[in-house]
Structure 1
Amino acid sequence: MAKQPVRVLVTGAAGQIGYALVPMIARGVMLGPDQPVILHMLDIPPAAESLNGVKMELIDSAFPLLKGVIATTDVEEACKDVNIAVMVGGFPRKEGMERKDVMSKNVSIYKSQASALEKCAAKDVKVLVVANPANTNALILKEFAPSIPDKNITCLTRLDHNRALGQISERTGFQVSDVKNVIIWGNHSSTQYPDVNHAVVITPKGEKPVREVVNDDEWLNGPFITTVQQRGAAIIKARKLSSALSAASSACDHIRDWVLGTPKGTWVSMGVLSDGSYKVPKGVIYSFPVTCANGEWSIVQGLLIDGFSRTKLDATADELIEEKEMAYSCL
């Protein structure tokens, strides 16, 4: 029997990331080549005409898996019965704006969207927050959608994870598919910590630690980390636009692994609610290494954290606590 369609919401769907993301979903990149989807696309009223243009293009693409398209500026209509919600829409920081101003705008947006998901979405909806500040936007969404299980609200650090894989691949000459188990700890910001201490490369002679294959600790502890942390800014400088294509691809990776599972022996990075693992304070959305099975994620336990890493984990946690306090002051 054919599978029932999954309803997937994309907010900010007329924007750059949305425009890159919706055809990937319709083509089966997110949920697999045999999973039909119904796309729910939301954007703000000034983008209504552009949003309708995206809908026309989706229809014109004749995607066999696409069983329906809803394009709307009404948040409750967009959220009705959705099984997966990818929250791309947010208020971007503009020149001259203070962090608190941006936080205040996004708190307002995510309170409203959380309430609509709470009221209208499927009760087991899985939520991925992409819009920055992603970790704290996800936390606000959790606060205002209390019936959605905490484990069903996540944020995107898979983009940073994939950037780290790409850097190791470029440095070593091995295919990116041969590199696994890097970790992004913490915030999706410049304080995040890309960690290769537990990562391996699959070589013709078997798995070898990334540190052994790279054989350059100075690079791994310095330029590698800063390159991953600042990659988004570098792309904006080069392209004069944000990293929409890689963000969309990473959002698909995040949801696909969450729903369909991670390969045995492999973990990925997801921003999830801290349970205190690795001495990370509870009550913040923090990126951890996770494995996924049966639609559930689990934090990888028992990894040794050296002194250098401990400092990095704590620094990004401190930033998230500061962001949380700032966001709550805007409520």
Structure 2
Amino acid sequence: MSEPLRVLITGAAGQIAYSLLYSIAKGDVFGANQPIALHLLDIEVMNNVLNGVVMELQDCALPLLKEVIATHEYPKAFKDVDVAILVGAMPRREGMERKDLLKANVKIFKGQGEALNQYAKKTAKILVVGNPANTNCFICRKYAPSIPSENFTCLTRLDQNRAQGQIAQKLKESNVLVSSLDVSNVTIWGNHSSTQYPDVNHAVVNIQGKAVPAREAVKDDNYLDGAFIETVQKRGAAVIAARKLSSAMSAAKAICDHMRDWWTGTAAGQWVSMGVVSDGSYATETGLVFSFPVNISGGAWSIVQGLSISDKAKERIGITLNELVEEKNDAVAVCSD
């Protein structure tokens, strides 16, 4: 067996982490032969809850889990980590505006960027989950200049999963029985917010072994250009309205999907959506953390190039781009106070 992979999870006493930890420690994400050392970080007032989480991990008797470090101290949490999954943040509550969330969370991610810069391995792969995820990732990367920018990503896989699930459900209404796994190459452009653009123009559905363009399979452009987009954009708010809590189980699943693909790669001819540092592709602002379609090979992602983008799609991408530029400027101002 290889040396343990050191995986940091922040907000480790929270509900997303509670749904996430078992899958990581069991080997579902980094491989069935990869030993794991978990670094669990939460705020000091959550120490008792965090200790309970550690007890449960011990009681799971997972053979790959070699060590658990539970702490509220950054030096211990970030020391020599290979992977950092930054979940911990003030949660979005019903009726809360994103700007309020940004002001509360951006300084947290400034501090965590500084901790990554000082204590983590320079090869560490970082996934920002805490919202506003794109902008928090931008700030985290800004304050960790010793780690390559391509090692910073944010989570938009949850939005992709939601989109695939909605298409599968829509097809079932027409007695076309497929699962969300049969839907591929849905793209989430832009921000993990209600301005994101879930794009099915290059998506395909595997129907009885045949790859069918999503629009041809669904046969309802009004739905795909209207209710589908709105449902995906507002799904997080709908979950909060129903549960009075933000998405946890689905977020944990998306984190696992994101990290597994980053570790093992994407299938030939398929791409996934990740928030990554823009190189200016598709007329986006260089340096902004923007969700693109990406291929992954050998642990490295690359933005899918050359996709045809309609004028309407460009308009939608422009809306989410403008929001991200505004968020970035607000975040930089907060960090400069």
If the length of structure 1 is used for normalisation, what is the TM-score?
0.97
Cα distance in 2 between the residues matched to 1:216 and 1:6: 46
Cα deviations by residue, 1:54-99 (Å, 9 ceiling, x for unpaired) = 0010000001111111100001110011000000011234578665
CA contact (8 A) 1:169 1:176 kept: yes
Among 286, 291, 294, the residue aligned to 1:290: 294
Q: 1:64, 1:39 → 2: CA distance? A: 13
**Aligned residues of 2:94 and 2:241 also touching (Cα < 8 A):** no
**1:263 partner SS:** coil
Match of 1:256 among 257, 260, 269: 260
In structure 2, the CA distance between the partners of 1:121 and 1:277, relative to structure 1 (3 Å rule), is same
8 Å Cα contact 1:76/1:117 also seen in 2: no
Residue ranges of structure 1 left out of the alignment (5+ in a row): none
Q: Which residue of 1 is the match for residue 282 of structure 2?
A: 278
Shift of residue 3, structure 1, vs aligned partner: 2.2
1:101-120 aligned within 5 A: 101-120=100-119
- 151-160 or 169-178, larger mean C-alpha shift: 169-178
Question: Following the alignment from structure 2 to structure 1, what is the Cα–Cα distance between the partners of residues 253 and 209?
Answer: 31
Q: Indicate yes or no: 2:322 matched with 1:323.
A: no
**Residue correspondence of structure 1 range 37-48 to structure 2 within 5 A:** 37-48=36-47
Listed as ranges, the matches of 1:114-129 within 5 Å are 114-129=113-128
1:232 aligned partner: 236
Q: 1:205: Cα distance to partner? A: 5.5
Secondary structure at the aligned position of 1:298 is classed as strand
SS in 1 for 2:178: coil
Q: Is the 2:82–2:124 Cα contact (8 Å) retained in structure 1?
A: yes
Partner AA of 1:66 in structure 2: L
Paired AA for residue 161 in structure 1:
Q
Q: Distance in 2 between matches of 1:102 and 1:281?
A: 23
Q: Which residues in structure 2 correspond to 1:304-323 (within 5 Å)?
A: 304-323=308-327
Question: Which structure 2 segments of 5+ residues have no match?
Answer: 172-176
1:61 aligns with 2:65: no
* Amino-acid identity (%): 57
Equivalent residue, structure 2, for 1:199: 203
User: Is 1:114–1:141's contact at 8 Å kept on the other side of the alignment?
Assistant: yes
What is the distance in 1 between the residues matched to 2:271 and 2:96?
Answer: 37
In 1: Cα distance, 2:332 partner to 2:59 partner: 44
Q: Which amino acid aligns with 2:326?
A: E
**1:265 Cα deviation from its structure 2 partner:** 1.0
1:13 corresponds to which residue? 12
SS at match of 1:124: coil
Q: CA RMSD in A?
A: 1.3
Quick one: which amino acid aligns to residue 214 of structure 1?
V
- TM-score, with structure 2 as normaliser: 0.95
What amino acid is aligned across from residue 69 of structure 1 in structure 2? V
Map Cα deviations across residues 206-240 of structure 1 (whole Å, 9 max, x no partner).
21100000000000000000111111111122222
Checking the alignment, whether the CA contact within 8 Å between 1:75 and 1:116 is kept in structure 2 is: yes
Alpha carbons 1:191, 1:229 under 8 Å: kept: yes
